[in-house]
Chains A and B, each alone.
Chain A
Amino acid sequence: MIAYILKRLLATIPAISVVAVLVFMLLRLTPGDPAAILAGDAASPEQIAQIRANLGLEEPLLVQFGIWLKQMALGDLGESFYFKIKVIDLIGQRLEPTLSLAALTIVIAVLVSVPLGVLAAWRFGGWFDRVLMGFSVMGFSVPVFVLAYILIWLLSVKLGWFPVQGYKRMADGFGPYIYHLILPAVTLSVIYIALIARITRASVLEALGEDYIRTARAKGLLESQVLVKHALANAAIPIVTVIGIGIALLIGGVVVTESVYAIPGLGRLTVDAVLARDFPTIQGVILFFSLVYVLVNLLVDLSYVFFDPRIRY
């Protein structure tokens, strides 16, 4: 097991280093002076010179990369010229809304999609299966912001059930906090539900064809036990994997959802930074999101140990 965990840990190193190289190159491959781009349109020549010295732009590319890597590793993502604070602090400030939104979305998505997928596989080819698969194609196709506006219009404007936009901090009380988060999380969960339900259905369907299912049924187990303990348990790995891969979708969705619902999180920060062409922030946010994505998928890989006892030996 330790060998497996070590192997997975090592396997993230190439991915993270390539991400680092790509983000580093992003700025260098752009026409124009990287220092001027980083300093922003309103910077004075002294500020630009200062940044140029910091980045070591007179040095060869490899040395620049070394300097940059060292700064990033120490958490020095530079200073946002738009928000006038350190990028790392900026990310820290915006973390709570995004984490809350993502966590609630994942909870809703898993609670809804896994049972639906199991049911669809159980009644493979029946009306429920077809409706769910139809819904799943739609879930992939309806853009998250269009869905957001439909839900706001229907549930907030017409029915008045939810606030139209906005965010309340957890410190302001748990009730208002959840109340403001539900609609964004439901919006964001739709595409995720479509994805997870599909995979759950496919992998449970595959498990249901195995001999041990026939055995379990033959020995008189309740159908619910056959489905959950035997079929779903053996289908767990693809499901957990797709939840990890889906984090990429979620991050894309967060950017859009936070803009529509006016949630002051990292997604909103990304858009604001791009509109202001605030490069230190853009670079920091991309690095942060990519690291989260790689780490979540590392955790997913490690969770296989729990779901598949064979890996433990």
Chain B
Amino acid sequence: MAQQDTSSLSVEAASVRPQQSAWQRMRASGSVRFGAIFLFILIFISVFAPWLGTVDPTLFDAASRDLLPGKFGEIMTLEGEVLKHQFLMGSDSFGRDIYSRVIYGTQVSLLVGLLTALASLALGIVFGLLSGYIRWVDSVVMRVMDGLMAIPSILIAIALVALWRGSITTVIIAITIPEGPRVTRLVRSLVLSIREEPYVEAAIAIGTPTWRIMLFHILPNTVAPLVVQGTYICAAAILVEAILSFLGVGLPPDIPTWGNIMAEGRPQFIQYPHNIFFPGIFLAITVLAVNILGDGLRDTLDPKMAKRL
């Protein structure tokens, strides 16, 4: 991998004009624009979910079971009032509105994606800085991280959620634990190369305390790769949460998440595929957009990493 990077540098360097700032390159990148615009749309959807023609996603009505997309039906509110409602994406076997559930599901997915990315980054920064800088910490921390990475991440997540029972917090922690080691490795390798830079040597020479070097000299230089990594983790976390919920081991079934909607649609998939297709499309496009945003950020912020994977 290491040899690959140096050779890819020359290819990338040609397309990255040095006079442009990272911000300008980012704005010019089609991938960043596409990903960012889509992400804003999703954030908009999740914030304004109650005003987007939705009903309470937990409402159900026996008279409106298994409606096809676009059909009109009735739905009863908690106060007992009967509303006429168009089921844009159809209804499930309880007579709940799939559209409302999918729209509200955006909130959960984004929350899990964002918080998992932040938690993994925090974990990785702390352990990565320590093990990149303190030798005895390094040998202990990296062995544990290697072991964690030897267990397929979905299995760790499944096992942890099974032990703790599903809730948003446990799902986030369960996805953070397998993702954290990857960030730790990244930060550690960055620290190892940055600490050899002349400005770090200069800082040491004038007697700067170690914590100051770590926080003010090394950490700022890891930001670009970490933003990129964080984006990928966000995409992975959204995906894993959906898988856990789909398998029935993630969030409790009463919370509308894309994975839960699909899990409920499984038994009658052949007659009513809309139960699975609509949340599935939302999930796929969301993960795609976040991944494309990550690729764009990687190409513009961190040309060195661009060809790694």
Contact = CB atoms under 8 A, between A and B. Distances in A.
Interface of A: 14-19, 21-23, 26-27, 30, 37, 137-138, 140-146, 149-150, 152-153, 157, 164, 198-199, 202-203, 206, 209, 238, 248-249, 251-252, 255-256, 259, 270-271, 274-275, 277, 282, 285-286, 289-290, 293-294
Contact of A256 (B148, B156, B247, B284): B247
Interface in B277-295: 277, 280-281, 283-284, 287-288, 291-292, 295
A289 B155 contact: yes
Given A18-B146, A293-B152, A259 B247 contact: yes
Nearest to A273: B162
Contact of A14 (B143, B161, B276): B143
B269 interface: yes
- Overall SS of chain A's interface: helix
B246 to A, nearest CB: 6
Interface stretch (B19-27, B74-82, B235-243): B235-243
B248 A271 contact: yes
A218 B254 CA distance: 68
Nearest to B275: A149
B153 A248 contact: yes
Given A138-B288, A289-B155, A143 B247 contact: no
A30 B159 CA distance: 11
A274 B239 contact: no
A245 B18 CA distance: 35
Interface string B260-281: 0010000001100100110011
Nearest to A12: B150
Contact of B4 (A14, A164, A203, A290): A203
Given A203-B4, A251-B155, A146 B283 contact: yes
- Overall SS of chain B's interface: helix
A157 B295 CA distance: 36
A30 B243 contact: no
29 contacts: A15-B146, A18-B143, A22-B147, A30-B164, A140-B291, A142-B284, A142-B288, A143-B239, A143-B284, A143-B287, A144-B243, A146-B283, A150-B277, A150-B280, A152-B269, A153-B269, A153-B277, A199-B309, A202-B8, A209-B7, A252-B152, A252-B155, A255-B155, A256-B246, A277-B162, A282-B158, A289-B151, A289-B152, A290-B155
B154 interface: yes
A282 B292 contact: no
B249 A275 contact: yes
A178 B277 CA distance: 28
B243 A141 contact: no
